[in-house]
Chain A
Amino acid sequence: MEQYKLFISGEFVDAASGKTFESIDPGTEAPIATVAQAGKDDAEAAIAAARKAFDRGDWSGLSPSARAAKVQDFADQVAQQGLRLAATESMDSGQILSLAKFMPLISITFLRNLSLAAASKFPWQEEILASGNAFAPGREYIRREPLGVCVGIVPWNYPMYIAIWKITPALCMGNTIVLKPASNTPLTALILAEAAKAAGIPDGVFNVITGPGGELGEILCTHPYVDKIAFTGSTEVGREIMRLASGTVKKVTLELGGKSANIILDDADMDLAVEGANFGSFFHQGQVCSAGTRVLVSSKIYDQFVESMKKRAEALRVGYQLDPTSHIGPLISKEQLATVERYVEIGKQEGAELITGGKRVEAPGISGGYYYAPTLFANVNNKMRIAQEEIFGPVASIIKFDSDEEAAAIANDSIYGLAGGVFSTNTARAERVAHSIRTGTMWINNYHIFSDYCPFGGYKQSGVGREFGLESLREYTQVKRIHVSAMADAKSNMYFQLLSDYKKVDGFSYNCPTSVAAGHGALGSIGKAVVDLGCSKALILTDPGVRKAGLAKLVQDALADFCVGIYDKIPSDPDLETVDAATAAARELKADCIVSVGGGSVIDTAKGVCVTLKNGGKANDYLNFLVLTEPQTPHIAVPTTAGTGSEVTNIAVLTSKGAGRKLFIVDPRIMPNVAILDPRLTLSLPKDMTVSTAMDAMTHAIEAMTSTMANHICDGLALQAIRLINENLPLVIADGKNEKARLNLQIAATMAGWAFTIAQVGLAHGMAHTLGALHHVPHGAACGIVLPKVMRYNVDHTADKLAQVARALDVNTSGITEHDAALAAADAVEALMKKVGHPMRLREMGVPEENLAICAFHAIADTAVIFNGRPVSDPNEVLQIYNEAY
């Protein structure tokens, strides 16, 4: 008789105790081999060897492709042992030879397929292009790394194949493994060990210990060197393994019991359904976790089905597993035979109708063996024990149902959820039923189909985790995220500043890719811009006022054949629905380019459209910071105001009715590709809008200078913008047709836009956003009214910058303190506002005084306030400013 030893650290060894046990052929009850019986010392030795091998790094440190090459060598050695493996598997486990002969083949393909997937498809390292954190820029990536020492515990029904399920992902992903096959069927695991040794798998990477789970289980599940346990077996044992593993928080995958429902709908092909139910119930003597041992049959075909199923079951030939004519072999052991007999008795006692089987049988020409006839119960109630408890033998229960919904309810009325089937000639119907069953696999018009790349595992108490496919490879790795800070500087770290009195952010990243064409007639460049963007179908977005002024037509004519339409339903305060409606129009016209013609509202709407058009869904899906990872639908902005700077900024401000305030899309990828500053489009801008939009730009520039994110590049842009506004706004008010002055205001607005899109704004904008959202005060007017008050509020923290602003506003600061110069800047802004007729007080804009308190609370929560030069957290301080502006 053959003798098998343990395989530890690359050597075949006796058990430390010298104990052995016999492996029995269940078809004859005769012993076929003696096997070393491992005890706790052997388990310790195997775990130690696996730990040492992992830490040594000559397996875990290999590249995935180098490991794949070695696993393929292993597969070749398995092929060399193929005949021996098939015969041994059949004799040891009772698998009929016609099944066992495929085991080496599917094991080899599994090894090859999964090792290739691990080497070529598995995402070992992934860049995270949008981190989801706007306040900590940097490179983000994840690495997937091996877990360490894995324990694989294998059952007796498919000892070789399920061993391969455990060995393959463990090894391919760089782990080491201690495999414990079932004591009923230890032999093929040890032959696999021979193959591993012959293939040159390094010592200790693959170990096999054979012995009783009752003795070895605790140490395998609790040893601190073990990182993961992968178990296939009963739910009862699986629960205990999970419990023991929790003590050291081991990773666990469990593939446990099942009581799967095979659903036969009334339109099923009867021959196919009978064969499918027969195969699902009795394949491998029903000793399969995924067996469809509850056969649910539509009442419309019930009698016909039961009759056919009975005949089919009775035609199955029960015989010795090595007899090539046998369909059904022996059960694994006399204990399993007794369990099946006990359940058959229970079924009879519960009132189920035994229609065939229910008895032991003798295999022709064989003395002994654990053979049992394929057994069917009809008229089973799903509450019966034979319908709820896993029998793991050739016993199926046929249950009647009326509707598809009832079938699903019966199928789901189980603690298990491993697999199941649906037989129907209507695929859509079968899929609807399949989708409603809470189970890990559903086969339609088929059963027991396992495929290397298709995940397998259970819902509910059928298990945790998945085997097969990329899903299984993931189960044998862990994820490490690496963050590389973009700015290795404490004074540029907004998080560190939470524990610091230094609130400025010194470092910055300047990214403003918009191409700007500016000057009289610059609109003529739009056609080339469309071509350079690779587009051909431009949709103009505008508002009714701009359209009425004839400006949209100017742009339409400039676009010529590139223009596919004009959408003019954009209000002064766009919300998310505005964006969705404009996007729908763009989709209908198949626009590949958006041309915004208007003020900030139109341009911001267009930004939202570009994102939603590119990515699908609704505008509400994208209200976030720095989450876009690729270029959006091309956008050409043609501003008709000189204020928001939106033609070059990374922000779109949109009102959310749901949130009750303005929310933002913030991302460099929403900066328009092109901005065309043609002063002819601003000549008809009314005086009040000219003034308020210019004050919006002024507020951008001044707040960019005093922001905690201020920097020299943005300061330079802002100061020039302030100078240009100060000089040219009065000229435009005096003569609205002064094209040069109009152009200078446009350029100022763009420069201020560049400044604040990087350096951010502050409290004045937070307060203005709130006034806009709650009281529809035009944004520029709101900014202008509160700006000087906020400048005075900030003076002690930003005097140096405000003194520079004063000089840009033509204030003579020689001989006065920096503090006084800063205050003079606020005065100069107010003087400019009075000079050009800008509203000075909130009461002029219809804001109710009694609402100022609630405005203060909303303003504090505005994102812009984060960057204010003076920290703001007391709503009473903000209320005071509102009162001063009232």
Chain B
Amino acid sequence: MRVDNISETDFTLEIDGLIFIINPETYELVGEVTISYVDEMKRKGFMLTSSKPVGEWDGFSVSDIKL
């Protein structure tokens, strides 16, 4: 995940004041995206999973938000 600018064709969703954006090509590739937060001894961060995983490591790593 990263902070980015909205372009005309992006899909957007506002939740609790935050605007989430995804471009159509990525959406077509990965499908619906679920963002959860993991806070365990072993890992801490955002976990992104999708209905169409892009690779075998989907759901393995946690992610920060890149600025």
Q: Which of A189-197, A214-222, A678-686, A707-715 contacts B (4 or more CB under 8 A)?
A: A214-222
- Complex: chain A residue closest to B5, CB-CB: A349
- Complex: chain B residue closest to A238, CB-CB: B61
CB pair B60–A338 under 8 Å, yes or no, is: no
**Nearest CB on A from B48, distance (A):** 11
A342 CA to B54 CA, complexed, in Å: 14
Interface bits B18-58 vs A (CB < 8 Å: 1, else 0): 00000101100100000000000111000000000111111
CB pair B29–A338 under 8 Å, yes or no, is: yes
CB pair A239–B42 under 8 Å, yes or no, is: no
CB pair A247–B60 under 8 Å, yes or no, is: no
CB pair B57–A243 under 8 Å, yes or no, is: no
A334 CA to B28 CA, complexed, in Å: 11
A213 CA to B58 CA, complexed, in Å: 8
Given contacts A222-B42, A341-B25, A342-B26, contact A240 B56 (CB under 8 A): no
Cross-interface CB contact of A214 among B25, B26, B60, cutoff 8 Å: B60
CB pair B29–A335 under 8 Å, yes or no, is: yes
CB pair B56–A214 under 8 Å, yes or no, is: yes
- Complex: chain B residue closest to A233, CB-CB: B57
A182 CA to B55 CA, complexed, in Å: 10
A-side contacts of B43, CB under 8 Å: 240, 243-244
**Nearest CB on A from B22, distance (A):** 11
Cross-interface CB contact of A213 among B25, B41, B60, B62, cutoff 8 Å: B60
CB pair A335–B55 under 8 Å, yes or no, is: yes
A183 CA to B54 CA, complexed, in Å: 12
Interface bits A324-356 vs B (CB < 8 Å: 1, else 0): 000000000111001101100000000000000
Cross-interface CB contact of A243 among B26, B42, B55, B59, cutoff 8 Å: B42
CB pair B56–A182 under 8 Å, yes or no, is: yes
**Nearest CB on A from B49, distance (A):** 8
Residue of B26, B61, B62 with most partner-chain A CB within 10 A: B61
CB pair B56–A247 under 8 Å, yes or no, is: no
A335 CA to B25 CA, complexed, in Å: 11
Interface bits A212-245 vs B (CB < 8 Å: 1, else 0): 1110011000100000000001101101100110
Judged by a CB distance under 8 angstroms, whether A184 is at the interface is: yes
CB pair B26–A244 under 8 Å, yes or no, is: no
**Nearest CB on A from B1, distance (A):** 12
CB pair B60–A240 under 8 Å, yes or no, is: yes
**Nearest CB on A from B32, distance (A):** 16
**Nearest CB on B from A272, distance (A):** 37
Given contacts A214-B56, A244-B43, contact A237 B29 (CB under 8 A): no
Residue of A184, A222, A335 with most partner-chain B CB within 10 A: A335
- Complex: chain B residue closest to A245, CB-CB: B42
A-side contacts of B63, CB under 8 Å: 236
B-side contacts of A243, CB under 8 Å: 42-43
A239 CA to B63 CA, complexed, in Å: 10
Given contacts A240-B61, A244-B42, contact A212 B29 (CB under 8 A): no
B-side contacts of A342, CB under 8 Å: 23, 25-26
A-side contacts of B62, CB under 8 Å: 240
Cross-interface CB contact of B60 among A182, A218, A222, A341, cutoff 8 Å: A218
A239 CA to B42 CA, complexed, in Å: 12
A244 CA to B58 CA, complexed, in Å: 16
Given contacts A338-B26, A341-B25, A342-B25, contact A237 B42 (CB under 8 A): no
**Number of residues in A with C-beta < 8 Å to the partner?**
26
A182 CA to B41 CA, complexed, in Å: 27
CB pair A213–B56 under 8 Å, yes or no, is: yes
- Complex: chain B residue closest to A222, CB-CB: B42
A184 CA to B54 CA, complexed, in Å: 11
B-side contacts of A341, CB under 8 Å: 25
B-side contacts of A218, CB under 8 Å: 60
**Nearest CB on B from A388, distance (A):** 11
CB pair B41–A237 under 8 Å, yes or no, is: no
**Nearest CB on A from B35, distance (A):** 16
B-side contacts of A236, CB under 8 Å: 61, 63
A-side contacts of B53, CB under 8 Å: 212, 214
A247 CA to B40 CA, complexed, in Å: 12
CB pair A214–B54 under 8 Å, yes or no, is: no
- Complex: chain A residue closest to B26, CB-CB: A342
Given contacts A240-B43, A240-B61, A244-B42, contact A184 B56 (CB under 8 A): yes
Given contacts A222-B42, A240-B62, A243-B43, contact A213 B57 (CB under 8 A): yes
- Complex: chain A residue closest to B41, CB-CB: A247
**Nearest CB on A from B15, distance (A):** 24
- Complex: chain A residue closest to B59, CB-CB: A214
A867 CA to B54 CA, complexed, in Å: 72
**Nearest CB on A from B16, distance (A):** 27
B-side contacts of A217, CB under 8 Å: 57, 60
B-side contacts of A237, CB under 8 Å: 57, 60-61
CB pair A247–B42 under 8 Å, yes or no, is: yes
Given contacts A240-B43, A243-B42, contact A335 B54 (CB under 8 A): yes
CB pair A239–B56 under 8 Å, yes or no, is: no
**Nearest CB on B from A86, distance (A):** 24
Residue of A183, A218, A237, A240 with most partner-chain B CB within 10 A: A240
**Nearest CB on A from B5, distance (A):** 9
**Nearest CB on A from B41, distance (A):** 7
CB pair B26–A239 under 8 Å, yes or no, is: no
A217 CA to B58 CA, complexed, in Å: 11
**Nearest CB on B from A532, distance (A):** 69
A214 CA to B25 CA, complexed, in Å: 23
Given contacts A335-B29, A342-B26, contact A239 B61 (CB under 8 A): yes
A247 CA to B43 CA, complexed, in Å: 10
B-side contacts of A335, CB under 8 Å: 29, 54-55
A237 CA to B43 CA, complexed, in Å: 13
**Nearest CB on A from B62, distance (A):** 7
B-side contacts of A214, CB under 8 Å: 53, 56-60
**Nearest CB on A from B11, distance (A):** 15
B-side contacts of A239, CB under 8 Å: 61
- Complex: chain B residue closest to A21, CB-CB: B56
- Complex: chain B residue closest to A334, CB-CB: B29
Q: Which of A727-766 contact B (CB under 8 A)?
A: none
**Nearest CB on A from B25, distance (A):** 6
- Complex: chain B residue closest to A247, CB-CB: B42
**Nearest CB on B from A231, distance (A):** 11
- Complex: chain B residue closest to A341, CB-CB: B25
B-side contacts of A182, CB under 8 Å: 56
B-side contacts of A338, CB under 8 Å: 25-26, 29, 54
**Nearest CB on A from B47, distance (A):** 10
- Complex: chain B residue closest to A182, CB-CB: B56
A211 CA to B60 CA, complexed, in Å: 13
A437 CA to B22 CA, complexed, in Å: 37
A183 CA to B58 CA, complexed, in Å: 12
A247 CA to B44 CA, complexed, in Å: 13
Interface bits A382-406 vs B (CB < 8 Å: 1, else 0): 0000000000000000000000000
A-side contacts of B23, CB under 8 Å: 342
CB pair B56–A183 under 8 Å, yes or no, is: yes
The 6 closest A-B pairs by CB, nearest first: A240-B61, A212-B56, A183-B56, A335-B54, A214-B59, A213-B57
Chain A residues packing against B (C-beta within 8 Å):
182-184, 211-214, 217-218, 222, 233-234, 236-237, 239-240, 243-244, 247, 333-335, 338-339, 341-342
23 contacts between A and B (CB under 8 A): A182-B56, A212-B53, A212-B57, A213-B56, A213-B57, A213-B60, A214-B58, A214-B60, A233-B57, A236-B61, A240-B43, A240-B61, A243-B42, A243-B43, A244-B42, A247-B41, A335-B29, A335-B55, A338-B29, A338-B54, A339-B54, A341-B25, A342-B23
Instruction: Give 9 new A-B contacts, CB below 8 A, not counting A214-B60, A335-B54.
Output: A212-B58, A214-B58, A240-B60, A240-B61, A240-B62, A244-B42, A334-B29, A338-B54, A341-B25
